[in-house]
Amino acid sequence: MIIVITGASKGIGKAIATQFAVEGNIILLCSRGEKSLYDTVAELQTNHPLCTIKGKAVDMSVKEQVLDFAEWCLKQGTPDIVVNNAGQFIPGTIQHETEGILEQMMETNLYSAYYLTKALLPAMTAAAKGHIFNICSIASLNAYANGGSYSISKFALLGFSKNLREELKPLGIKVTAVMPGATLSASWDGFDIDPTRIMEVNDVAIMIYAASKLSPMAVVEDIVLRPQLGDL
């Protein structure tokens, strides 16, 4: 299978790539950080020699770079699985956020998934198969203190996922919205977090992998994961 994962140099994206690398798939990764991306590609290729791992440095908040990445992916073949994981978390309140934060959150968290998916869909619909995972958030479901434009963008990503699901279900392409709660990833860098209060990135990766293994007649539309002790 050909698997495309954005924001894949660390955290949830890297965990998802590692999960699928066990099978010997072709895995296409992107990340804004060039060094961390190619370090991840080298690590995965070394640990999983039966896989083909390729990476491309991309700023997914820039439409032109997203479209260039899509073209690069399609040169490798038609994707079977697309994981729209690229995103950014900037906490704040709507009334006090600095100018441009909403645009930044929408470009990174929503438009990246929209433009990549739109560019890949002609090939996927021609093949009449595939599975798209959009990494949303608990912030897609409920407003919370200091959520601001981040939460707005994640609500929008969930709306995109639901509309995409309706559009693609007669075409043989599955769509799953993934809504993790607090997960030990780069979003929590700098925070003093009790490790017993936060999920591991592998928890999210395992659920995505499991959902990808269902028969063509079944789809997991929504995956909601929270820390056992509740949201932070």
Beta bridge partners, 81, equal 3, 131
Task: Kindly name the residue from 111, 114, 115, 150 that is annotated as catalytic.
Answer: 150
Beta bridge partners, 4, equal 28, 82
> Which residues, other chains included, contact 164 with Cβ-Cβ below 8 Å and sequence gap of 6+?
117, 132, 134, 175
Is 150 a catalytic site residue? yes
Tokens of 172: 């043989």
Residue 157 phi, psi (nearest 5): -65, -35
Q: Following DSSP, what letter does each residue of the chain receive, concatenated? A: -EEEESS-SSHHHHHHHHHHHTTT-EEEEEES-HHHHHHHHHHHHHH-TTSEEEEEE--TTSHHHHHHHHHHHHHH---SEEEE---------TTTPPTTHHHHHHIIIIIHHHHHHHHHHHHHHHHT-EEEEEE--GGGTS--TT-HHHHHHHHHHHHHHHHHHHHHGGGTEEEEEEEE-SBSSGGGTT----GGGSB-HHHHHHHHHHHTTS-TT----EEEE--TT---
Catalytically annotated residues: 150
